[in-house]
């Protein structure tokens, strides 16, 4: 199979502005999301029960456990 080069994209000034805005928004979102996860982990380590943490933050308990592992029995 032969690779076909992608055509060069020429953006208008408005398209470039909107793309740059979308990129900046995505960076801001990822940073805020990471801070939310860091804060959730800090609360969990401080002994906040997972059920309460998930209820108050809207995080899924399954996602919390996938991200940080299940809480050990001794931590409950």
Per-residue pLDDT tens over the stretch 36-72: 999 999 999 999 999 999 999 999 999 999 999 998 7
- The answer to whether 54 touches 43, Cβ cutoff 8 Å, is no
What pLDDT is recorded for position 74? Answer: 45
What pLDDT is recorded for position 73? Answer: 53
| Cα–Cα distance for residue pair 9/20, rounded to 1 Å | 15
Residue 48 lies in a domain: yes
DSSP 22-40: HHHHHHHHHHHHHHHHHHH
pLDDT digits (tens, 9 = 90+) for 3-18: 888 889 999 999 999 9
What pLDDT is recorded for position 17? Answer: 98
C-alpha closest to that of 41 among 11, 18, 65: 65
Tally of structural domains, the chain: 1
Residue 6 lies in a domain: no
Domain membership of residue 24 as a residue range: 16-71
What SS3 class is residue 12? coil
């Amino acid at each position: 199979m032969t690779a076909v080069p992608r055509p060069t994209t020429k953006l208008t000034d408005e398209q470039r502005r909107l793309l740059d805005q979308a990129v900046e928004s995505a960076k801001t979102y990822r940073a805020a999301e990471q801070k939310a996860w860091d804060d959730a982990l800090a609360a969990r380590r401080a002994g906040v029960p997972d059920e309460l943490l998930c209820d108050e933050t809207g995080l899924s308990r399954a996602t919390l456990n996938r991200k940080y592992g299940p809480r050990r029995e001794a931590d409950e």
